[in-house]
Amino acid sequence: MTYRVCFVCTGNICRSPMAESVFRARVEEAGLHGLVEIDSAGTGGWHEGEPADPRAASVLEEHGYRSEHAARQFQPSWFARLDLVIALDSGHLKALRRLAPTEEDARKIRLLRTYTRPSSDLHPSSSASHAPSESAGDDLDVPDPYYGGRDGFEECLEMVEAASNGLLAAVREHLEGRAA
């Protein structure tokens, strides 16, 4: 059975496509390509059909990530087919929780940076499935790089990469639980 993950930011041209590309690479490296489906969307439809921001695409390419992307808006009906909805900041978390048709769907939503583990953490699953609280602070947000320079996109990539290993551990734990 396929495990489905969708990353969500504001317009689906910067943060969520970066997270999608990085996580897709992690899943492929882990040999889980056929078991995990990765997607991204925005809370708004301002950029529907557009490719990723050229700065995001450039940073991804320079770091060895592939990015083929067309922006789209997240739809509440998607909750039914998704296992995990990853918000890139607390504003997205709140917007997605308002869209969630049921409490069960709302429990599928997580902030990406809750999966960031200290490098000294030897037990990746210990905090990987922690559900973020509604009051999670800005320290867990991936800042929007859109209105800034290239350095904001580099910072975004670093944050996404730092959280991706913990997220992969959580997804692997769910996959192993389904197989049991």
The residues annotated as belonging to the active site are 9, 15, 144
With beta carbons less than 8 A apart as the criterion, state whether 14 and 145 touch: yes
Amino acid at residue number 72: R
> Euclidean distance between the first and final Cα of the chain, in Å?
12
With beta carbons less than 8 A apart as the criterion, state whether 89 and 141 touch: yes
Could you give the CA distance from residue 52 to residue 93 in angstroms, rounded to a whole number? 21
Could you give the CA distance from residue 51 to residue 139 in angstroms, rounded to a whole number? 28
